[in-house]
């Protein structure tokens, strides 16, 4: 078994699953119906991507591993998702900015993966890229609308930037298990440039260089992940193997 391939596939799966779970918390709570539907559909796209990755990981691991056992029976330290994905929803500004930072990254990442040597990852990436391009457009529009909106919405977006920026450094530190698939450092310059373009239109200020958090890719998480897994895994932990 190729543990680098397994770990990388799980990293991709976990990031999509955790961000899907976070976005799904908005279900029934969106600011207007249209946006409630948008954010939960983005959640559904991410969940679908996570399933594709988990199914592939389960086929590599073999034995009793299934997409469900990988999502529901692993503990915090085994999850390899980006720290950015697990950050709390905060207000609408923080939620759309988290999606914007991630989609901006995921779009660049999937563009490379779709031409990668691993056929299954390339196929999943090509499908997911279509979805990521929509997520990117949607979240960019919201960053601009709030940044270039009222004094209140601008301040909330600026607060969200301060809260989330320290979790963006990790995106561009390539973990050992990633090396044969992608060099994430090369994505940093285009990511920064694209973020700056949107921030300029949104009249938002790019943050100064600051201390960056890392560890998610290695299973070292913020306190947020434990609470997410508690809710996400509750049913399968309490009634193992339950089906409906």
Partner 1 sequence: MNNTTPHTSNTAEQNIWNLLSTIEDPEIPVLTITDLGIVRNVQITDEAITIFITPTYSGCPATDMIAATIKMTLLAAGYKNIILSTVLSPA
Binding site for partner 1 (CB under 8 A): 44-49, 51-52, 119-120, 122-124, 126-131
- Name which of 239, 215, 236 is nearest 72 in CA terms: 236
At closest approach, how far in Å is the CB of 50 from partner 1? 9
134 or 149, CB closer to partner 1?
134
42 or 229, CB closer to partner 1?
42
- Distance CA(59)–CA(50), nearest Å, equals 14
What is the CB neighbour count within 10 angstroms for residue 59?
A: 13
At closest approach, how far in Å is the CB of 199 from partner 1? 29
128 or 146, CB closer to partner 1?
128
130 or 237, CB closer to partner 1?
130
At closest approach, how far in Å is the CB of 41 from partner 1? 8
At closest approach, how far in Å is the CB of 42 from partner 1? 9
Structure token digits, residue 204: 């938002």
At closest approach, how far in Å is the CB of 98 from partner 1? 19
- Distance CA(204)–CA(126), nearest Å, equals 32
Q: Is 165 helix (H, G, I), strand (E, B) or coil?
A: helix
- Distance CA(173)–CA(191), nearest Å, equals 13
Provide the angle, in degrees to the nearest 10, between the axes of the packed helices 151-164 and 119-147.
140
Element (H, E) at 92: helix 92-113
At closest approach, how far in Å is the CB of 48 from partner 1? 3
115 or 211, CB closer to partner 1?
115
- CA-CA-CA-CA torsion for 107, 132, 51, 98, nearest 10 degrees? 80
18 or 124, CB closer to partner 1?
124
């Amino acid at each position: 078994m190729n543990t680098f391939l397994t770990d990388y596939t799980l990293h991709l799966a976990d990031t999509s699953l955790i961000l899907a779970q976070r976005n799904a918390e908005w279900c029934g709570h969106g600011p207007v119906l249209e946006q409630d539907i948008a954010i939960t559909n983005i959640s559904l796209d991410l969940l679908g991507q996570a399933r594709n990755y988990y199914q592939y990981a389960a086929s590599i691991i073999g034995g009793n591993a299934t997409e469900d056992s990988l999502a529901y029976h692993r503990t915090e330290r085994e999850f390899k998702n980006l720290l950015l994905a697990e950050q709390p929803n905060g207000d609408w500004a923080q939620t759309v900015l988290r999606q914007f930072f991630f989609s901006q990254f995921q779009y660049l990442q999937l563009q490379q993966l779709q031409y990668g040597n691993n056929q299954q990852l390339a196929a999943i990436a090509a499908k997911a890229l279509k979805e990521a391009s929509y997520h990117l457009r949607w979240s960019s529009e919201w960053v601009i609308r709030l940044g270039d909106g009222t004094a209140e919405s601008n301040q909330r977006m600026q607060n969200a930037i301060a809260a989330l920026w320290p979790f963006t450094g990790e995106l561009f530190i390539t973990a050992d298990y990633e090396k044969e698939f992608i060099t994430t450092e090369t994505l940093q310059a285009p990511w920064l440039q694209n973020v700056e373009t949107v921030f300029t239109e949104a009249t938002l200020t790019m943050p100064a260089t600051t201390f960056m958090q890392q560890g998610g890719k290695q299973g070292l998480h913020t306190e947020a992940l434990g609470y997410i897994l508690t809710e996400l895994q509750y049913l399968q932990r309490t009634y193992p193997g339950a089906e409906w």
